[in-house]
Structure 1
Amino acid sequence: MVSNLLIIGGTGMLGHPVARKFQKEGCAVRVLTRNLDRAREVLGDGFDLRQGDVEDPASLDRALAGCDGVHINLQGGNSDRQLEAIEYRGTLNILGAAEKAGVQRLSTISYAVDLENHPHVPYASVKHRTETAVAKSPIPHTIFRGSQFMESLPLYFRDHTPCLIGKQPHHYHWVAADDYAHMVFNAYQLKETVGRQFDIFGPEAMTMEEALLRYCAAMHGKQEITRIPIWAMKLMGYLMFDRRIRFVAELMEFFSRAGEHGNPIEANRLLGAPTTTLEQWCEQRKAERRGDLPEEA
């Protein structure tokens, strides 16, 4: 186990649970963040917060000093340019700084979709090139390729209305971020996880529509969603000169074509299979709102 782990992207919906899991298990957790106030609000006490940016190699050098591990949880924003700058070039900066700092273990999150065979889709291209860069790194590393995460379901809401963009026919094994965090922690305890890639699948397969309907029923007591064609979303983005809307439309178009890809057998065998169902996850969220249990439970 690493004794001092730097998490890059530790305030995000997938980085936050990893930070809390390692802290709970006795690891000193350092978090690189661009916004110290927001990081304190999200994480609370017990974390060593360092201000910096993956596009600033000097800040990475400072943040990595004294760390023996680094977990990368980057979200490249909402444009092709940001994806390239943050996820790909940012990861290259991290790899260079980590090698210079003598880091002993490194891990990163990617997606369990067919990235390699969609080179003309910027999202897929950046993700695939980033995975390849990590795989070629001399630092002992592990890559986690997650299916769809339950934590993303609230993001399907637009003006308090659940929206599904495109037909989205593929089934995904939806994963709870806490289950994923347990798997990341377990990977750091095992030598046989070094140099490997693990597909992280949850216990139930659902389409995006099925998952969103079940989420709405559990959290809001109704099963009603608005369906938006991809062409309409693209047109809205062009008419409003909003590159973010167009980016979302293009991302959902990619997901409508490229479904879940991978095999979770080795991940489940070595790291412990995810067990949280969508209904259980919703009950945990409702309990948190009522204050019945701590957020990290």
Structure 2
Amino acid sequence: MILVVGGTGTLGRPLMARLAARGVPLRVLTRDSGHAAALRATGVEAVEGDVRDPAAVTAAVNGCDTVISAIHGFASGRGISPAAIDRDANISLVRAAVDANVDHMILVSAYGASASHPMSLHRMKFAAEQALQASGLHWTIIRPTAFLETWTKLIGAKLPTGGAARVFGRGDNPINFVAVTEVASALDRAVFDEGWRGRSVDVVGTDSITLNQLAERLTAAAGSSSRTDHVPLLALRALSILARPVAPAFARMAHAAVEMDTSNMEVDGPAPAAK
């Protein structure tokens, strides 16, 4: 039995499709009763519960050979944060997997995760990596760059209704984006290729593009003559601080946009093939 935590999200959906095509028994932990019902209709076992609830985590993990954590708390609301999800919930999953004698745990982290990274998501992912590596479980860590689909959705949100593409910051910094199908492929391989056990695998895109270039592509694909609007870098810096007390997820997104506009977002070198 393979447990996928985060199986209904942007990455979880293509991952579930790959695993289901193999005919392996699957279980998903989800808070959403509607998602749970839809999964059961396809033959997937669904456990309803919150990943922050140790009892729900224990129930989901019991009887599983492999646990895949594809969760994140980056863009959600109050009570959900990288600290609560990417660190604490993942550590809870690790502990439950140890107690349930799980054979192998696969963690979706982030490219460049470290204890000193400027983004909290990457710091919290790194803390989870450390806990998994120290657990005694067989483990694999997948470290993707930014998801192309996430930023395509953010930049092109208004294009279907004739609005402008929206770029955060100057938009001229090259960024490595990876498609979620590539990350799902890497996770699929991690499940079945024992040579990937005990490894941290970077999963990166084939090239780097700027947000301005992405906006141009989306505008052209939409057949739209709309302009591209920019959210000024100064405004993003201010929002990343001022919004923290009232809209912490929005503040995190503003801070991420600042980093993506000003930091090196390319990759250091070729990553292992994930096919």
Counterpart of 1:179 in structure 2 is: 182
Of 136, 139, 144 in structure 2, the residue corresponding to residue 138 of structure 1 is 136
TM-score when scaled to structure 2?
0.85
1:48 shift after superposition: 1.0
SS for the counterpart of 2:72 is coil
Instruction: Output the CA distance in 2 between the equivalents of 1:60 and 1:183.
Output: 24
Counterpart of 2:53 in structure 1 is: 56
TM-score when scaled to structure 1?
0.79
SS for the counterpart of 1:174 is strand
* Counterparts of residues 43-122 of structure 1 (less than 5 Å): 45-78=42-75, 82-113=81-112, 115-118=114-117, 121-122=119-120
Identity of aligned residues (%): 24
* Counterparts of residues 1-297 of structure 1 (less than 5 Å): 4-41=1-38, 45-78=42-75, 82-113=81-112, 115-118=114-117, 121-152=119-150, 153-157=152-156, 161-222=164-225, 224-235=227-238, 238=242, 241-256=246-261, 257-265=263-271, 267-268=272-273, 271-272=274-275
Question: Per the alignment, do residues 192 and 167 of structure 1 end up closer, same or farther by CA in structure 2, a change over 3 Å counting?
Answer: same
Counterpart of 1:286 in structure 2 is: none
Number of residue pairs matched by the alignment:
265
Q: Which residues of structure 1 form unaligned runs of 5+? A: 273-297
> In the alignment, is the contact (CA less than 8 A) between 1:112 and 1:262 conserved in 2?
no
RMSD: 2.6
Per mean C-alpha deviation after superposition, the further-off stretch among 56-65 and 78-87 is 78-87
Q: Deviations over 1:203-240 (max 9, x none)?
A: 23212322232133224445732110133135457379
Q: Tell me which amino acid in the other structure corresponds to 2:94.
A: L
1:122 shift after superposition: 2.4
SS for the counterpart of 2:146 is coil
Q: Deviations over 1:47-105 (max 9, x none)?
A: 11111112111111111121100110112143796211111000010000011111111
Q: Tell me which amino acid in the other structure corresponds to 1:260.
A: E
Per mean C-alpha deviation after superposition, the further-off stretch among 151-160 and 178-187 is 151-160
